[in-house]
């Protein structure tokens, strides 16, 4: 799966470079530094594989969701950072689009890591696929190590609460877990709030078949206008806020942290609200 | 492929070192590395043929009282305890007696006879592969292996006993080394044997990062640890992390992917009917992550592997 020059992977890579735009190959190649002779970094991130695997997501980014970014300059060009975004749309495509944006809109590009749920490594194919894309299980130990190494992490503090919420709750942020703020304090990492607009309408949840979800041990089994949650071609807008810095003891009680967490949540909500105000329409 | 040992590689090594399990593959390699640098006393219930001439070998079970007599006479300053068996075919009670009772006895003898340094060879397997493991487990991570892998239970017990020895006997500098999967031309453990299969079975859809270390490098880590000035637990990693699939490709293997549930059932049946020597629990190692953070050994012991990643992987191909 790594470093091999299979014709399919080569074709996928060519597709990715074509979609990513001018100089894409040169810019993406600059991400290559920490790999060993087998083309992977210590976490299993394989740039060649990732660029190939990126193609369908890049196509979604360019052609399907026609993503527009606003204020991406506030993402630090290097060094540790937590990107904290709202999560919605039944399918975690908002995470994929945010990841793609950081790769193709930033120069130099940044390969941000998403933190996956603990059950992902038990899934065949998915586990290997995510690992080659550089995603890691979201243990505090992993996050700390990555931040200390100067990496960018994408965090969705709402988790599945945000992802699988019903249509009536659209663009209303769910409860934020405090874990990300402890990390920010411990590692002295800035938080960049991100508001994602457009993902909410890609697959409105009309119904949740909770018993079926339980049976399949999935967080929810949404029924959407396309029955299964196939995304509609809404236009995505990614709004990036100014970096927020926090000071204080990382091991304070949750109640003490809540105020800081609330300020991040408010910043994300403000970006979402602004995005909603300024977009001409759901599909435009 | 192996470079000749540098005679000045381990300054400060104690003058007399006792090594248990010296007649095993790793023990023999360690004896070759150290015999010119220090006086070596070997204890193993197996005879040590082709032993270096300056090595004093005792064909003795570590549980025997005669071991104490060896310590009285030879007065070793340090002990390297390799006398740990990992034979999945051995009756549980026999292995347990040898591994756990043997370790208790030899450590107590060390405490009684003024041994100043003890190095116990444990393994990074004590953490156990698990889907929600962090990518790099620190030495403080819980030892979860016993829950799923009863054959590692002895090793976990021994490791924990050695930890208790660290604080019960502050006068003895005790080091516990937890190296990652040891491979090498003469190594016959489960990972090395697996990598020697021409058509190894793999778990369909899983490709965990693995860490391997060359047996030569393990011997060098033991030699570094036996010097005065270090104590406590150290993970010992080799030249890096690599997906299992890349290891198999480097070795020119043709993996046969089988769905997990089927593979588990197959392997259990095959093991029970003695068609394979791989215990079914070993499957976790080719499905889930069990990789460790070795930075403490780098910092405190000055540890650095000599074999490259490619050399380490290809070492299983070399003739024994």
B260 touching chain A per CB within 8 A: yes
Would A245 be classed as within a structural domain?
yes
Give contacts of A137 with chain B, Cβ < 8 Å: 131-135
Encode chain A in three state secondary structure: CCCCCCHHHHHHHHHHHHHHCCCHHHHHHHHHCCCCCCCECCCCCEHHHHHHHHHHHHHHHHHHCCCEEECHHHCCCCCCEEEEECCCCCCCHHHHHHHHHHHHCCCCCCCCEEEECCCHHHCCCHHHHHHHCCCEECCHHHHHHHHHCCCEEEECCCCHHHHCCCHHHCCCCCCCCCHHHHHHHHHCCCEEEEEEECCCCCCCCCEECHHHHHHCCCCCCEEECCECCCCCCCCCEEEECCCECCCCCCCCCHHHHHHHHHHHHHHHHHHHHHHHHHCCCCCC
- Give the span between the Cα atoms of A198 and A276, in whole angstroms: 9
Q: Which residues contact B311 (CB under 8 A, 6 or more apart)?
A: B1, B214
Interface test with A, best of B148, B246, B292, B293 (most A CBs within 10 A): B246
Looking at the partner chain, which of B134, B205, B208 has a beta carbon nearest the beta carbon of A124? B205
Contact between A161 and A175 under an 8 Å Cβ cutoff? The reply is yes
pLDDT tens-digit map of B56-71:
999 999 999 999 999 9
| CB-facing half-sphere around the CA of A24: CA atoms within 13 A | 21
- Are the beta carbons of B135 and A145 separated by less than 8 Å? yes
Would A57 be classed as within a structural domain?
no
CATH number where A248 lies? 3.40.1130.10
Residue A172 has pLDDT above 90, yes or no: no
pLDDT value of residue B8: 46
- Judged by DSSP in three states, B69 sits in helix
Q: Which domain holds residue A230?
A: 66-278
Q: What is the pLDDT along chain B (320 residues), one digit of tens a residue?
A: 444 445 446 788 999 999 999 999 999 999 999 988 899 999 999 999 888 888 999 999 999 999 999 999 999 999 999 977 777 677 777 888 888 899 999 999 999 999 999 999 999 999 999 998 999 999 999 998 877 777 788 889 999 999 999 999 999 999 999 999 999 999 988 899 999 999 999 999 999 999 999 999 999 999 999 999 999 999 999 999 999 999 999 999 999 999 999 999 999 999 888 888 888 888 899 999 999 999 999 999 999 999 999 999 999 998 76
pLDDT value of residue B9: 65
How many structural domains is chain A composed of? 1
- Give the span between the Cα atoms of B30 and B218, in whole angstroms: 9
- Judged by DSSP in three states, B256 sits in strand
Please tell me the distance in Å from B152's CA to the nearest CA on chain A: 22
Would B225 be classed as within a structural domain?
yes
pLDDT value of residue A263: 94
Q: Which domain holds residue B51?
A: 16-314
Would B4 be classed as within a structural domain?
no
Would B231 be classed as within a structural domain?
yes
Lowest-confidence range among A184-198, A218-232, B121-135?
Answer: A218-232
Helix (H) or strand (E) holding B120: strand B117-121
Would A61 be classed as within a structural domain?
no
Please tell me the distance in Å from A172's CA to the nearest CA on chain B: 31
Comparison of pLDDT for A91 and A154, the residue scoring more: A154
How many structural domains is chain B composed of? 1
pLDDT tens-digit map of A42-62:
999 998 899 899 899 999 999
Residue A89 has pLDDT above 80, yes or no: no
Would B11 be classed as within a structural domain?
no
Contact between B280 and B300 under an 8 Å Cβ cutoff? The reply is no
Query: How many residues are there in chain B?
Result: 320
The full DSSP string for B179-215 is E-EEE-TT--SHHHHHHT-SS-EEETT---EEEEEEH
pLDDT value of residue A229: 66
Would B165 be classed as within a structural domain?
yes
As given in the structure block, the two tokens for residue B269 are 């049946």
Q: Which of residues 278-317 of B touch A (CB under 8 A)?
A: 288-289, 293, 308-310
Would A248 be classed as within a structural domain?
yes
pLDDT tens-digit map of B231-290:
999 999 999 999 999 999 999 999 999 999 999 999 999 988 888 888 888 889 999 999
CATH number where B171 lies? 3.40.50.720
Would A42 be classed as within a structural domain?
no
Would A10 be classed as within a structural domain?
no
Residue A33 has pLDDT above 70, yes or no: no
Mean pLDDT of all residues belonging to chain A: 87
């Amino acid at each position: 799966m790594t470093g091999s020059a299979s014709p399919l992977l080569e074709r996928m890579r060519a597709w990715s470079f074509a979609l990513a735009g001018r100089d894409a190959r040169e810019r993406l190649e600059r991400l290559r530094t920490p790999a060993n002779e087998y083309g992977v970094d210590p976490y299993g991130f394989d740039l060649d594989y990732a660029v190939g695997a990126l193609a369908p997501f890049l196509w979604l980014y360019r052609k399907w969701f026609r993503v527009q970014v606003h204020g991406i300059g506030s993402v630090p060009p290097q060094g540790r950072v937590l990107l904290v975004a709202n999560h919605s749309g039944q399918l975690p495509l908002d995470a994929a689009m945010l990841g793609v944006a950081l790769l193709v809109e930033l120069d130099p590009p940044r390969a941000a890591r998403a933190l996956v749920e603990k059950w992902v490594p038990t899934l065949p194919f998915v586990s290997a696929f995510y690992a080659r894309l550089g995603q890691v299980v979201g243990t505090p130990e992993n996050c700390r190590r990555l931040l200390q190494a100067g990496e960018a992490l994408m965090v969705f503090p709402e988790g599945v609460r945000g992802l699988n919420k019903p249509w009536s709750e659209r663009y209303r942020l769910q409860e934020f877990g405090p874990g990300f703020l402890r990390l920010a304090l411990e590692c002295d990492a800035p938080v960049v709030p991100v508001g994602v607009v457009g993902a909410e309408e890609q697959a409105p949840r009309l119904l949740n078949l909770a018993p079926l979800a339980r049976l399949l041990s999935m967080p929810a089994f949404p029924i959407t206008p396309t029955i299964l949650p196939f995304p509609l071609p809404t236009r995505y807008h990614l709004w990036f806020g100014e970096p927020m810095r926090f000071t204080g003891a990382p091991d304070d009680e949750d109640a003490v942290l809540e105020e800081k967490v609330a300020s991040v949540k408010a910043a994300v909500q403000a970006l979402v609200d602004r995005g909603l105000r300024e977009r001409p329409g759901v599909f435009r | 492929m192996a470079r000749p040992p540098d005679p000045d590689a381990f300054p400060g090594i104690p003058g007399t070192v006792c090594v248990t399990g010296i007649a095993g593959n790793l023990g023999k390699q360690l004896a070759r590395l150290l015999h010119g640098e220090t006086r070596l006393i070997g204890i193993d219930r197996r005879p040590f043929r082709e032993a270096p001439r300056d090595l004093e070998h005792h064909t003795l079970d570590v549980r025997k009282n005669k071991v104490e007599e060896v310590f009285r006479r030879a007065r070793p300053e340090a002990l390297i305890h390799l006398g740990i068996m990992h034979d999945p075919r051995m009756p549980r009670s026999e292995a347990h007696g040898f591994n756990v009772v043997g370790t208790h006895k030899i450590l107590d003898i060390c405490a009684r006879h003024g041994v100043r340094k003890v190095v116990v060879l444990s393994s990074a397997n004590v953490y156990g592969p698990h889907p929600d493991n962090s990518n790099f487990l620190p030495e403080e991570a819980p030892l979860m292996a016993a829950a799923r892998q009863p054959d590692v239970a002895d090793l976990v017990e021994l490791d924990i006993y050695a930890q208790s020895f660290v604080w019960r006997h502050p006068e003895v500098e005790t080091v516990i080394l937890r190296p990652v999967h040891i491979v090498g031309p003469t190594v016959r453990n489960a990972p090395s044997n697996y990598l020697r299969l021409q058509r190894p079975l793999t778990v369909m859809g899983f490709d965990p990062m693995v860490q391997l270390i060359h047996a030569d490098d393990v011997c060098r880590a033991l030699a570094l640890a036996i010097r005065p000035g270090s104590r406590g637990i150290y993970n010992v990693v080799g030249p890096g992390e690599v997906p299992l699939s890349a290891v198999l490709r480097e070795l020119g293997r043709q993996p046969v992917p089988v769905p997990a549930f089927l593979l588990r059932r197959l392997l259990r049946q095959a093991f029970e009917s003695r068609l394979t020597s791989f215990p079914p629990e070993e499957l976790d190692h080719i499905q889930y992550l069990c990789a460790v953070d070795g930075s403490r050994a780098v910092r405190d012991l000055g540890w650095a592997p000599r074999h490259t990643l490619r050399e380490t992987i290809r070492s299983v191909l070399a003739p024994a």
